[in-house]
Amino acid sequence: MSARIAEKLMIDFSKFEGAAGVHFKDKSLLKQAFTHRSYVNESKISGLAHNERLEFLGDAVLELVVTEYLYSKYPNATEGDLTSYRSALVNAITLSEVARNLNVNEFLLLSKGEAKDEGRARLYILANTMEAIIGAIFIDQGYESAKNFISKNTFHLIDKIVENKTWLDSKSYFQEMAQERTGITPSYKTLKEEGPDHDKHFTVGVYLEKELVISGEGRSKQEAEQDAARKALESKGWMK
């Protein structure tokens, strides 16, 4: 085992527990939540598990908790608006912001290559790790503890999301504005597709005829298109 790997394995996760206000019964679950697949592949440590299964579980718990909250908070909102609010609250950008507030970066177990990349890929790693942490809390302490953690760290963000209209279906809104201002219906083209099947990253360009307005990124083509449309609205000055 390299000195670097040995040092990483000695991370004191109790600091995160203190900051998050959650103290695990099974400490190995918390460690797994912070362990990226790349670290497992690089370290070759027998029995070391990565966080993708916890991420899968945490994603479902997060969606349920947020759905329940929004349903109660906005009794007069339509199904479409509630869906948009939820998407804005649980997307990678929002979750990575929450992760940074909790200093998740400090505790990540990444391969040497992934550790060097502080760009867009790190945003998705942080978001995925947040979902894995929620999954770990759910297994270790149950639904109510997971709900309390999500409530404490995300619910306060919804007012800003609604006020700034970042919940809007940017793709539909950009199409509406583009047709109104230019008479052109926007089109989208995938510019880049990277990563393995379980962790794809897409770069999509939004065009007005042959003009590339701007590009966006996401974990799916749909998410990348929404990101591109949102950036296009900002670059054109078409946000209300």
- Per annotation, catalytic residue among 59, 217, 225, 227: 59
Give the chain's radius of gyration (CA, Å): 20
Q: Could you confirm whether 59 is annotated as catalytic?
A: yes
Q: Could you confirm whether 159 is annotated as catalytic?
A: no
- Per annotation, catalytic residue among 52, 131, 223, 225: 131
Query: Which residues are annotated as catalytic?
Result: 59, 131
